[in-house]
């Protein structure tokens, strides 16, 4: 199973970061209206934070990242 973890780039800009913590915990946290996010300031990745987001009524483990250019492996917890 390929989880596609790391920094995700499209058109030479970082659009997302996927870590094991985010992949495993976000579907559960979203049921309660929260999600794990990665800090991003001045074009640099920081640590992870818990933020408020839209509440979901069911678990969704899928995430579509088919239209990406590259994934650069970087581990942030």
Would you say the pTM of this structure is higher than 0.95?
Answer: no
Which of the four pLDDT bands, split at 50, 70 and 90, describes residue 5? confident
Q: Confirm if 19 and 48 have CB atoms less than 8 A apart.
A: yes
What are the residue ranges spanned by the domains of the chain?
Answer: 6-63
Spatial distance between the Cα atoms of 8 and 70, rounded to a whole number of angstroms = 6
Task: Give per-residue pLDDT as tens, 12-65.
Answer: 778 778 888 888 888 899 999 999 988 888 777 788 899 998 888 877 766 666
Q: Confirm if 8 and 34 have CB atoms less than 8 A apart.
A: no
């Amino acid at each position: 199973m390929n989880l596609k973890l790391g920094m995700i780039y499209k058109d030479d800009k970082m659009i997302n970061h996927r870590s094991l913590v985010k992949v495993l915990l976000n579907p559960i946290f979203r049921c309660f209206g929260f999600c794990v996010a990665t800090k991003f300031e001045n074009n640099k990745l920081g640590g992870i934070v818990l933020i408020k987001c839209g509440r979901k009524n069911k678990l969704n483990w899928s995430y579509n990242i088919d239209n990406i250019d590259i994934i650069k492996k970087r581990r942030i917890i």
